[in-house]
Amino acid sequence: MPKPDRGAALAVVLWGLVVGGALLTLVTILAVQEQRAAVALRREERGLVGAERIGAELAAGMTAGELRSELPRTFDSLSLDAGGDWSALVRRLTPLVVLLEVAPRQPVGPASREAAGVRLGWLLGPRPDSVSPVAAVSVGVSGSAQIVGSPPELLQATGQVALFDRLSERATLILPGGTYTASPATVGTSCDIRRSTNWGDPVWAAAPCGGYLPLIRVDGDLTLSGGIGQGILLVNGDLRVTAPFAFHGIVIVKGAVDITAPTDVRGIFAAAELRSGAGSVTQLKVHYSKCVISKDLDSAAPLSTLSSRAWIPLFQAP
């Protein structure tokens, strides 16, 4: 005779199978989600490490003056070449602060759903060099050359060699030795910073090239056949001036200087040797200007993260 509770036992077994299957499904879903979260976290960590590396490399290769030329107005932005796997953008926030954004390029297709969305930003500002010039003119002399002025200027043969080497690596305009006539150049109403003979405009501050302060390095002997310029001029050879020339900024010459035409420098002037034949140096006039020097050093300064915060995560709507 069948037992009366057999139907109840079957119902309990079926209910147990249903509940067990549901629990197994839930555990499986949670395990898959946990695995996906772990993979996404690893991708995000790799993205953060990679973004920090790319950001550091990009920041090390920029100077304040170079960005000021490319981004003259507040909120101007410029895309940077960060390789095929990364996108980078630099945006001017204030005259002294820029925002550098770095993010990995998102893959296309199904892989884009699992790609980690990482964007890092750095607030960067100039870190100018500390320079204490001992005199407006720092040169060695040959023959009977003399420098006269009031007050007298210090003569020394070593010049600013250490400063030359430090600034040389950041040159924004590198030229071979030769003869040049410097003058401002524009394209429409914008300063043409691609022109090799455009060394800025020290005469009119409001002109298109009035804020352009290039760091010029000449690899060889330089002959200046007149013109005007501003910024920093580094000559890795001899310098000869054959026509009236005016420059506002820092001039450092590793070789000898031969000046046969009126030359007006507002800033500092340093050379290993100054030649003038049998007479006094009458064509060179140097007016020391701390303001000009500070502005040029700020422009040539490398960028570094602000001390308040090294980097910040950035987010954007999909």
Query: Taking the model in full, what pTM does it have?
Result: 0.71
pLDDT at position 44:
67
In angstroms, the CA 45 to CA 222 distance is 51
pLDDT at position 317:
41
Q: Residue 174 falls within a domain, yes or no?
A: yes
Neighbours of 161 (CB within 10 A): 12
Question: Is the model's pLDDT at 7 over the cut of 70?
Answer: no
Number of domains in the chain: 2
pLDDT band at 275; cut points 50, 70, 90 = confident
In angstroms, the CA 32 to CA 116 distance is 17
Pair 235, 111 in one domain: no
Could you tell me the residue range of the domain that residue 274 belongs to?
Answer: 137-299
Pair 123, 168 in one domain: no
Question: Is the model's pLDDT at 1 over the cut of 70?
Answer: no
Average pLDDT over residues 252-260: 91
pLDDT at position 238:
94
Pair 262, 146 in one domain: yes
pLDDT band at 183; cut points 50, 70, 90 = very high
Of 130 and 125, the one with more pLDDT: 125
Give tens-digit pLDDT for 221-235.
Answer: 999 999 999 999 999
Quick one: which H or E segment has residue 272?
strand 263-275
- Pairing relation of β-strands 215-235 and 173-182? parallel
Q: Residue 84 falls within a domain, yes or no?
A: yes
Pair 68, 164 in one domain: no
Average pLDDT over residues 121-126: 86
Of 245 and 73, the one with more pLDDT: 245
Pair 240, 113 in one domain: no
Pair 15, 30 in one domain: yes
In angstroms, the CA 244 to CA 4 distance is 120
